[in-house]
Structure 1
Amino acid sequence: MLKKLHIQNYAIITELEIIFSGHLNIITGETGAGKSILMGALNLVLGERADSGVLQDKEKKCVVEASFIVKNNEGIRAFTEKYELDNEEEILLRREIAASGKSRSFINDTPVNL
């Protein structure tokens, strides 16, 4: 379950943090309000191809972090064991995109390849 989404320097977002409840969360807004931008940031942290064109400020890197509660998830437990990652009740995914377009990905602060 998605717990938190933190976005820096992505599209029209300078910095934003959304903390989701453990219940139903609905994102609504008028056309152009940024709903698709939120989904784009989430897709980016989940592995979608990075493009330096998404940087709001071309002088700074873009950082998107998503925190997931994965307690009692056998698939995640097996994955973290296989790749020797910390196996905790919460997992943090982070994606950084430099102005050059180069990106780096992390799981619980451990660098990973996509």
Structure 2
Amino acid sequence: MLVSLTLQQFALIAQHELSMAEGFNVITGETGAGKSLLLDALSLCVGERADSAMVRHGAAYADIYAQFDVEN
């Protein structure tokens, strides 16, 4: 289960940490709010190849950290 996702200099996001609650979580928002960016970041954490276009404009690199609970 995903516990948290931290993004730094990723796409349009300078810095953001998303902490998930236990149980069912829903991510909603208007068009262009960044929902797909969260899925893109999570995909990178599980092995998708990165593209330099994913680094925020003006930044040298992007960091993405995902914390998973694999006990349950």
1:50 Cα deviation after fit: 0.7
Gaps of 5+ in 1: 73-114
Task: Within 5 Å, give how 1:44-59 maps onto structure 2.
Answer: 44-59=44-59
Could you tell me how far apart the structure 1 residues matched to 2:59 and 2:6 are? Answer: 19
1:71 Cα deviation after fit: 1.2
Describe the shift of the 1:67–1:53 C-alpha distance in structure 2 as closer, same or farther (beyond 3 A): same
Could you tell me how far apart the structure 1 residues matched to 2:59 and 2:31 are? Answer: 29
Measured on the aligned residues, the alpha-carbon RMSD in Å equals: 1.2
The answer for the alignment partner of 2:68 in structure 1 is 68
Q: TM-score, normalised by structure 2?
A: 0.92
Gaps of 5+ in 2: none
- Asked whether the 8 Å contact 2:9–2:59 carries over to 1, the reply is no
Query: Max radius of gyration: which structure?
Result: 1
Greater share of residues in strand: 1
Question: Which deviations, in whole Å up to 9, do the C-alpha atoms of 1:36-68 show, x marking residues without a partner?
Answer: 011001101111111111111344210100000
Greater RCO (CA < 8 Å, at least 6 residues apart):
2
Identity across aligned pairs (percent)? Answer: 44
Report runs of 4+ in structure 1 exceeding 3 Å deviation: none
Q: How many residues align?
A: 72
Q: Which amino acid aligns with 1:51?
A: D
Q: Which amino acid aligns with 1:27?
A: I
